[in-house]
Structure 1
Amino acid sequence: MNVGVIAIARNEGQRLKDSLHSVVGAVPKESIVYVDSGSSDGSVEFARSLGVHVVELDRTVPFTAARARNAGFERLLSACPGVEYVQFLDGDCVLRPDWIDRAVTAMDADDRLAVVCGRRRELHPGESIYNSLIDREWDTPVGPADACGGDALFRRSAVEAAGGYDATIIAGEEPELCFRLRQAGWKVQRLDAEMTLHDAALTRFGQWWKRSKRFGHAAAEALQRYGSRAESLPGRQVRGIVVWGGVLPALLLIFIALACLGVVSPLVPVAIVAVYLLQWARLTRQFSAEDNIGFALRRAALMLACKPAEFRGLIQYWSNRILRRRHTLIEYKRITDPVRPRGAADVE
């Protein structure tokens, strides 16, 4: 089985430790590469203690997950030139024991498959509503897919032909690569198989707000890159962000101010609030088909409440582009306790 694994992380602490432990034994150590994006929690030392290849990215160049994956891919091919398949893995994810075999079997059966992914589950979905929402986000339909997430098995030749990830993208780099692969005639597929356990560790609204901002940034970049082509999703996403996160909040504030000055009737801002309430009811009805009513109500409320965060991400992308500034990471994870290299006192 000519499979290599590339794990990437930045200050994932114990999550990285669990992630690398899940990989060691699944494939030979010489075919495992860990790429570190400037961690300060002992991640590099721990990875080296396992005997895997370690790449430390240059801190003078802006970090992106895409850049890290490209660097890992380059090191893997240098160390294992005969590798056929590459499993990319985020450092907050644990690989399920039989995933590699299931994924390779699917790849071997169809030489036009460039990417296969499976079910990514949240490790602690009951810890917060945010973790529960992410667990639902990971549950994508089985079969042909448009894109994958950070965890997926790629055909080495397909990644080479596409030129790898676009290292300048700070979010949404997987859909962008999958789009280029599909345009070149390759296929992406979601298997009915358990793939990874993900530890989001999202317990605060502020983290969800930043994640929403990151999504808005990714949606704006996706529209700029290929929104005018056959893909219509980026356009719909950006329109929704602009309406619910930009236009309506601005109108609400303006008409509240005008109503206070007596220029317009107080019923005008009340009407805008009513529009939001109607949208909340519509979303709740939609979500209640798969969730209990209490969860559906909160899910719909969070979606609407974070539209301004998505709009901020959209504005950040376009302002950086217009002013020719570098895009920087939008981080929302908390740093865990430092990891320690395994030794006599740390045997599992």
Structure 2
Amino acid sequence: MIGVVVIGRNEGARLLACLVSLKGQADRIVYVDSGSRDGSVAAAHEAGAEVVELDPALPFTAARARQAGFEALMAGMPPEAVQFVDGDCTVEPGWLPAARAALNADETLGLVTGWRSEIHPEISVYNRMCDVEWHRPAGPIETCGGDMMVRVRAYRQAGGFDPGLIASEDDEFCLRLAKAGWRLERLPRVMTRHDIAMTRFSEWWRRLVRAGHGIAQVGHMHPPRFARERRRALVFGFILPLVALLGLVTTLWLSLAVVLIYLLSYVRTVRGLCVTEGLPLREALHQSVFLSLSKFPNLIGMALFHWRRLRGKSMRIIEYK
């Protein structure tokens, strides 16, 4: 038996497409809504999904929504495995039985995932960057994104999702799943098609702020995790700019050295996108500009997490659309 948890907030037509893609593939579908104002709840009811509406008195997070969906599935006849999917994704035909078969074939597997891709990468550079971001090799993995099929026994043993995380909650869950002794694997087949629909620089910036918050929070909980990402954000987003400013009032060579470091990092990023990801040079040059800039919103997100943590504030979602 396969259960599906779909989470969403104001996804509109994308939610309907998600639910349609699941029709006939799952035994039960639970949709968890985080305060939508666009008719998503009514649409999900009409599509035949079981609906859970989160209490707005508590902070909305994807982790909280996934956990609530899992608990709703367990209230009836519990499935052996649960597929989690975001409401802005469609699930590819045949994915659910293939994922379930993989879990059945190997009792050491606690989680399987597949390949996600963007539906409209041609719309913007931000969509194309996400499409590259989703592309990861098949085989054993340490962590994955929110689209995943999890064995119920493994999920319970790991303790489920932590509702207090506003980002990178999937990474954090995967880390605890592995610590509980379960293996994680990415299957070599398409799993979901994502529609991020991101066309503005401001949306991309807020998404990277949220990512920075996530890597700081998960890194605080599991210190070795995201150490490299946190270090790069700190160096390129704070230390080097500070050194460059210092050079303007001391010796100009210091500022020029910082500029050279940024250029070398940019060239290295371009080379990585061309060689590793197979991007054409022109596209790699374009995307590398944003990847180089990403350290600044990441740093802001990291600082926001620690500010909230030190003040004992709730970790509230950072919406980018």
TM-score (norm: length of structure 2): 0.96
Local SS of the residue matching 1:288: helix
1:233 positional shift: 4.5
Local SS of the residue matching 1:325: coil
Q: Is the 8 A contact 1:102 1:193 kept in 2?
A: no
Q: What is the match of residue 107 of structure 1?
A: 103
Local SS of the residue matching 1:251: helix
Q: What is the match of residue 218 of structure 2?
A: 222
Local SS of the residue matching 1:247: helix
Q: Is the 8 A contact 1:33 1:54 kept in 2?
A: yes
Local SS of the residue matching 2:186: strand
The letter for the 2-side match of 1:5 is V
Q: What is the match of residue 23 of structure 2?
A: 24
Q: What is the match of residue 169 of structure 2?
A: 173
In 1, distance between residues paired with 2:56 and 2:140? Answer: 38
Q: Give deviations 1:249-297, integer Å, cap 9, x for gaps.
A: 23334444x2xxxxx2334323322221121112212222121111111
Q: What is the match of residue 260 of structure 2?
A: 274
Q: 2:82 aligns with which of 86, 102, 108?
A: 86
Larger Cα-atom Rg: 1
Q: Give deviations 1:112-149, integer Å, cap 9, x for gaps.
A: 11110011111001111111111111111100001121
Q: Which moved more, 1:266-275 or 1:298-307?
A: 266-275
RMSD: 1.2
In 1, distance between residues paired with 2:77 and 2:20? Answer: 20
In 2, distance between residues paired with 1:121 and 1:80? Answer: 33
Q: 1:141 aligns with which of 113, 125, 137?
A: 137
In 2, distance between residues paired with 1:279 and 1:32? Answer: 46
Work out whether 1:77 is the aligned partner of 2:63.
Answer: no
Work out whether 1:234 is the aligned partner of 2:222.
Answer: no
Q: Is the 8 A contact 1:5 1:86 kept in 2?
A: yes
In 1, distance between residues paired with 2:160 and 2:239? Answer: 37
The letter for the 1-side match of 2:20 is H
Q: Give deviations 1:89-132, integer Å, cap 9, x for gaps.
A: 10000010100111011000001111100111110011111111
Q: Give deviations 1:132-170, integer Å, cap 9, x for gaps.
A: 111111111100001121111110111111221011000
Work out whether 1:6 is the aligned partner of 2:2.
Answer: no
Runs of 4+ in 1 over 4 A off after TM superposition: none
Local SS of the residue matching 1:35: strand
Q: Is the 8 A contact 2:83 2:150 kept in 1?
A: yes
| Residue correspondence of structure 1 range 51-66 to structure 2 within 5 A | 51-66=48-63
Q: 2:30 aligns with which of 30, 33, 55?
A: 33
Q: Is the 8 A contact 2:115 2:192 kept in 1?
A: yes
In 1, distance between residues paired with 2:259 and 2:165? Answer: 36
Q: Give deviations 1:47-75, integer Å, cap 9, x for gaps.
A: 11122210000001000000001100111
In 1, distance between residues paired with 2:11 and 2:265? Answer: 37
In 2, distance between residues paired with 1:55 and 1:9? Answer: 11
Higher relative contact order (CA closer than 8 Å, sequence separation 6+): 1
Q: 1:191 aligns with which of 187, 190, 196?
A: 187
| Residue correspondence of structure 1 range 183-332 to structure 2 within 5 A | 183-227=179-223, 232-256=224-248, 258=249, 264-289=250-275, 290-332=278-320
The letter for the 1-side match of 2:71 is E
Identity of aligned residues (%): 42
Q: What is the match of residue 342 of structure 1?
A: none
Structure 1 unpaired stretches of 5+: 259-263, 334-348
Q: What is the match of residue 344 of structure 1?
A: none
In 2, distance between residues paired with 1:33 and 1:94? Answer: 15
Q: How many residues align?
A: 319
TM-score (norm: length of structure 1): 0.89
The letter for the 2-side match of 1:180 is R
Structure 2 unpaired stretches of 5+: none
